[in-house]
Structures are given as C-alpha cells and as structure tokens.
Amino acid sequence: MGSGSSPCASCKLLRRRCAKDCIFAPYFPPDDPHKFAIVHKVFGASNVSKMLQELPVHQRADAVSSLVYEANARMRDPVYGCVGAISYLQNQVSQLQMQLAVAQAEILCNQMQPEPEVPAIHQSMVDYDTKSLLLAASNTGDFGDQMTQLLSYTSSNNNVMQDPLKKESFWT
C-alpha cells in the first residue's frame, strides 16, 4: 500500500507511515490486523522483515503463511508450538504403519496356507482370483523374506527428521 491508500496492518500496528514499497503490505492487508499481530508477537516485526528480505518475492507469500501458522501454533501451545503437532502426527504415522504391516502380514499368512481340498461339486464356488492368488503365492517360495520386509516396514518407511521427533530423545 502506499500514500493515499490505507496503511497495511503492520504499519497500522507499528504506527508508522506505510511506504509505497512497504515489505509487509502485500502480505498483511489492513482488513486482517490479527494476522500481523500474532506474527509480531511471536517473531517480531524486524525479524519478519529480515526473513522476507532474504527470500525471492515469489516465495514470500508462502513464507508469511507458514510464519502465521507457526505463530498460531505457538499461541495455542506456548511450550511446544508446532513441535507438539509434529510429535502427535509422527505417532499417528507410526501407528498406521504398524497396522498396515500387521494387515499385510495377515494376507501373506492367508496366502501361505495350503489350498483347501474342495470336492468337485464345490470348486466352481471358489473365487477364481483367490485361487490364482494362492497358486501364485505358493510358487514364489520367498515368504520368509516377504514377512521380514513387512515386519520392518514401520521402522524403514519414514523420511521425516527422525532424531528430534522421537519422544524419548526429543531434544538430541
């Protein structure tokens, strides 16, 4: 915003003239004063200004959005902020991966069982797809490897920063 138009939310809060090239103006419109207030409370206006100056213009909107998100998280949880959310989500991912590994192991176990000897009269009632699955599974011969892979699924399938997120060694 520049002279003649309403000052941006940051200049309004800081009670200063909103210059034409105000770095905050594109991201903190005057109709949402809470957005800047919360970011200013947690990070401080000068720090936010420095952060924005270090980024190319096309990335600043996203940066502001993430700062607003972090500031809101910090207001909701003054001790842990976003880190509390990360810890909670990480636990959810681990639990889901464990459930998935158990379910996949159950399928493998079902596939490992010998095909029941069904009398001729009942063979047409057996689903063709299930039969072909059982036959294919019995021909592979590497169930042991598959089981091992599935059981180690939870520990290997996670590409998030691991060390800081483990509850026990959270602050390493």
Partner 1 sequence: MFRFHKLDKTTSTRCAVCKYFRRRCPPDCIFAPYFPNDNPHKFTCVHRFYGASNISKMLEELPVYLRAELVESLYYEAKCRVQDPVYGCVGIISSLHQQIQVAQTQLAKTQAEISVLNANFVVAQPPSSLDESLVQQNGVDHGLDDPFNTWFY
In angstroms, give the least distance from the CB of 5 to partner 1.
Answer: 28
Token pair 């689903």 is found at 127
Please identify which residue in 5, 6, 92, 152 interacts with partner 1, judged by CB under 8 A. Answer: 92
Q: Which of 54, 76, 132, 148 binds partner 1 (CB under 8 A)?
A: 54
Tell whether residue 32 is a contact of partner 1 (CB under 8 A): no
**Residue whose structure tokens are 């990070």:** 43
Residue 22 has phi, psi (to 5 degrees) of -55, 125
Nearer to partner 1, 86 or 147 (CB): 86
For residues 67 and 56, give the distance between their C-alpha atoms in angstroms, rounded to a whole number: 16
Residue 57 engages partner 1 in binding (rule: CB under 8 A): no
Q: Does 155 bind partner 1 (CB under 8 A)?
A: no
Q: HEC profile for 103-122?
A: HHHHHHHHHHCCCCCCCHHH
Of positions 19, 23, 37, 43, contacts partner 1 by CB under 8 A: 43
